[in-house]
Amino acid sequence: MTPLRQRMLEELQRRNYSPSTFRGYILAVKQFADYFDESPDKLGTEEVTRLIEAASNLTYRTILMLLYGTGMRRAEVPLLKVDDIDSERMIIHIRQGKGRRDRDVPMSPKLLEVLREYYRQNKPKIYLFTSSAGHFGVDNPISDKTVWHACRGAAKRAGLSKVIGPHTLRHTFATHLLEAGADLRTIQVLLGHACLRYTVIYLHLSQRHLRAVINPLEQITLRSHSELHDPPEDNPLWHGPSGRWPMSFAWRAASSGTASAKR
């Protein structure tokens, strides 16, 4: 029996759930593992730290932190737009996910910090991650292959022997949430699953629930991209504003009135 399974059994017993609820949770976790065709306990926190710190550039580092900090799918990352980042509510809006469903996921302070750094360096206008291919001046999103290369390249640089892709970080995010005590139904919503077999109730999270979730990205210690790649005296980012989100995000949110609230 794995430590994760043992911990779950002890927690169910501590909460004095009925036998039927007990069996429901066990079957739901089994289905969760079967869905990925392997144990959901994929990467440890130390391995995640090594992976992120091994990113070859700031764009790849930001992508890796997005995958681990939100559980986004590989295909969802390229479609993320500047306006989807809501720094006031600390929410990222994911549009047209699997099954054409929109969802909101919480944004941790560490993720906001690296997004600010990335924005100051790249100044994206429409899509958060833009491709240099195509016509000059046209804002095209990156390919989902770029997301895959970000993972594979970092894994190789970090010396990790496991086969690691975007989906690895997605279900590592979910597994670490479960280990931190998040409810299985909360994880279901954050991952964007319409339903999970043996999970009877589909819970739509309120903002209070979203903020209450302990984000696994906040549980690891990372050296900054500039610390790893640039001397402080030669790095212009050390001298720029660091206390707020880029003005374009605040401006767009303000110009759209209550658009963010309606999401």
| Residues marked as catalytic | 73, 98, 167, 170, 193, 202
Evaluate whether 225 touches 235 at the Cβ level (below 8 Å).
no
- Give all strands (DSSP E) within 95-203, no chain letters: 103-106, 130-131, 140-141
The residue written with tokens 């932190």 in the block is: 65
14: number of CA atoms within 13 Å, CB side?
Answer: 7
Q: How many CB atoms lie within 10 A of CB 158?
A: 18
Report residue 92: phi and psi, to 5°. -110, 125
The residue type found at 151 is C
Residue among 193, 202, 149 at smallest CA distance from 32: 193
Q: How many CB atoms lie within 10 A of CB 210?
A: 18
Radius of gyration of the chain (CA): 19
Evaluate whether 180 touches 214 at the Cβ level (below 8 Å).
yes
Quote the Cα angle for 155-159-164, to 5°.
Answer: 30
Evaluate whether 69 touches 217 at the Cβ level (below 8 Å).
yes
